[in-house]
Amino acid sequence: MKNTVKQIVEKYGNDKTRLMDILIDTQETFGFIGQEAVELLAHQLGMSQVDVNQTISFYHFFSTKPRGEYAIYLNDSAVAHMFGRQAVKEAFEKEVGIKFGEVTADGKIGLFNTACIGMNDQEPAAIINNKVFTRLTPYRVREIIKHIREGRKVEGLINESFGDGKNQLPSLRAMVSSNIRRKGMILSDDYVYGSVTRDILPKMSPEAVIAEIKHSHIRGRGGAGFPTGLKWEFCRRAKGEKHFVLCNADEGEPGTFKDRVILTEKPELVFEGMTIAGYAIGSDEGVLYLRYEYRYMKEYLEQVLAKMRAENQLGKNIGGIEGFDFDIRIQFGAGAYVCGEESALIESLEGKRGEPRDKPPFPVEKGYLNQPTIINNVETFATAVRIVQNGGEWFTQFGTEDSTGTKILSISGDCMFPGVYEVNWGFNVADMLNMVGAYDVQGVQVGGPSGTLIGPDEFHRTLGYSDLSTGGSMIIFGRQRNLLKDVVLNFMEFFIEESCGSCSTCRNMTQVMTNKLKKILNGKGVAKDLDDLKQWGKVLQASRCGLGQTAGNPIISSLKNFAPLYDALIQKDKDFDEGFDLVASVQNSCKYVGRVPNFNHH
């Protein structure tokens, strides 16, 4: 083990900031990162063991204990539950003979829950040894477990009828479907990749590129909506030894999967966008930060990068521009929603826990390795290529005045045709529901759990930065769903699990609010509880990052838009009930001492 660990650390130049790669390699080599490995890593890197452990313990997919030769991670998102997760879970437990959270005695199979893996349009889905298995049913579970027991390798578990589009390429060969339902400028096939870098960039100065991006009025597609052109301009002006281009592909907002589709179908467009950004801000290094759930795309994306290098789309003097060097590497995360926050992503990229940074300073001034850095979403980079190709003015004809261009939506839940839809900004919710075949809709979660849950009286609202802002996640809930129990509670538990814990507010208030929600769901709620939730939720506004500030939104927005659901659960005859239950609270002690509870004689 000693030599192997040493080799891994040396592969990354004994560099502490590459700890994520070092840990991923260690985990994939040994199946887990045990105490011995931690000691060796700490020694080799000159860190204390607790310091190594603090990064390991932050990420869901790192483990200090064996997780089984076949580690099965079953998605636990609300939509997975809507499409039969319970039956699939029970089938796994029955077939494997253990509960979730356990590993079989022979160390062969481990069962684990995991947060949304970006397959909401094809749930229930699971990740087994970095391969994704979608549309699971109890029958399919039996088959998979049988094949595992027969000793098949993970590739052998993929059945004959797998994915669509580029998911069928030998280099990808994933069970995943891209489900592209509507194409616009990004997903269309009329752009020949590389033509901007080859034909247009050599004729433009970096400043001119930024001017076009600014003129297009494009705003960040990740959800926060910062003007992209300004970001690039600030970064270009910032002084540093080196500038960096980071692509945020940590798509962790439950219900979002469009970045997965863009990276599957149009990876060259994304990489070309990063290259253009590199030219604009004066950077020679780009990093694609990809969530570990998409590890199955590793070989495929690396082949794409290799091909682009061979074609001089990456490398030195790109497009014949003297001195324009740019290359891209892929950095994987290891399971942490908060790393989608740009400064947390940078921390993770530096080998640390993904705790958001205090701002200012912003990444454009001090980002990755304290150097000026831009971070943009996958979709933003892809869009940038079309803007530079056709000009900023051309771009503004799409969408609305304050939300120009197109938006790729990830639509899932109760509808006929879940998948990816590229639409012009300004689309309204009612049209969207008609487009995807959603009938008898109770509510739509716009922008994922951190966004807003709206009901039918708000379906006239439009998608855009000034009305319903969204990173693209749209989850539809039909009339038959129990919104509070099956959706709001699931989302709150997601936030509890995914809080980095750094801020006292987000670390604790999510739990406090969820406890109260559970109390209401258990029929112990009183009217005061609803007021408390509204008041208490405000405390989250004092959190450092967007995750923390929005972590109460499932409750806050459902209280606002679905008040009757709460009112129906509230006890009308009581104004005080803190949930104390005398009968339940004496049960264990009576049983242990051997007496029958008696409430009559005091």
Query: Counting Cβ atoms within 10 Å, is residue 494 exposed (0-12), middle (13-18) or buried (19+)?
Result: buried
**Which residues, 197 to 236, sit near other proteins by CB under 8 A?**
none
**Residue from the set 321, 369, 521, 586 that interacts with other proteins by CB under 8 A:** 586
**Cα 208 from Cα 78, distance rounded (Å):** 45
Cβ nearer to other proteins, comparing 139 with 592 = 592
**Residue from the set 499, 553, 557, 558 that interacts with other proteins by CB under 8 A:** 499
Cβ nearer to other proteins, comparing 383 with 510 = 510
Residue 49 touches other proteins, criterion: CB under 8 A: yes
Residue 542 touches other proteins, criterion: CB under 8 A: yes
What minimum distance in Å lies between the beta carbon of 533 and other proteins? 12
Residue 350 touches other proteins, criterion: CB under 8 A: no
**Which residues, 353 to 382, sit near other proteins by CB under 8 A?**
353, 358, 360
332 close to 292: Cβ distance less than 8 angstroms: yes
**Cα 111 from Cα 75, distance rounded (Å):** 11
**Cα 381 from Cα 233, distance rounded (Å):** 15
What minimum distance in Å lies between the beta carbon of 352 and other proteins? 10
Cβ nearer to other proteins, comparing 383 with 543 = 543
Candidates 9-17, 264-272, 363-371, 530-538 — which segment interacts with other proteins by CB under 8 A?
530-538
Residue 27 touches other proteins, criterion: CB under 8 A: no
What minimum distance in Å lies between the beta carbon of 110 and other proteins? 19
**Which residues, 403 to 442, sit near other proteins by CB under 8 A?**
none
Residue 477: beta bridge partners? Answer: 443
Beta-carbon contacts of 17 under 8 Å, excluding residues fewer than 6 positions away, are: 349, 350, 351, 369
What minimum distance in Å lies between the beta carbon of 33 and other proteins? 14
**Residue from the set 15, 34, 51, 138 that interacts with other proteins by CB under 8 A:** 51
Residue 67 touches other proteins, criterion: CB under 8 A: no
Residue 63 touches other proteins, criterion: CB under 8 A: no
Beta-carbon contacts of 324 under 8 Å, excluding residues fewer than 6 positions away, are: 201, 279, 317, 318
**Cα 397 from Cα 184, distance rounded (Å):** 13
**Cα 149 from Cα 146, distance rounded (Å):** 5
Cβ nearer to other proteins, comparing 503 with 565 = 503
SS3 call for 244: strand
DSSP string, 461-482: -BBSTTSB--SSEEEEEETTS-
Residue 595 touches other proteins, criterion: CB under 8 A: yes
**Residue from the set 58, 257, 300, 491 that interacts with other proteins by CB under 8 A:** 58
Amino acid at position 476, single letter: I
Residue 105 touches other proteins, criterion: CB under 8 A: no
Amino acid at position 363, single letter: P
Q: What are phi and psi of 21, to 5 degrees?
A: -65, -40
- Cα–Cα–Cα angle for 36, 41, 44, rounded to 5 degrees: 125
Beta-carbon contacts of 580 under 8 Å, excluding residues fewer than 6 positions away, are: none
309 close to 317: Cβ distance less than 8 angstroms: no
Contact positions vs other proteins (CB under 8 A)? 46-51, 53-54, 57-58, 336, 353, 358, 360, 496-505, 507-512, 515, 532, 536, 538-539, 541-544, 576, 578-580, 582, 584-590, 592-595, 597-599, 601-602
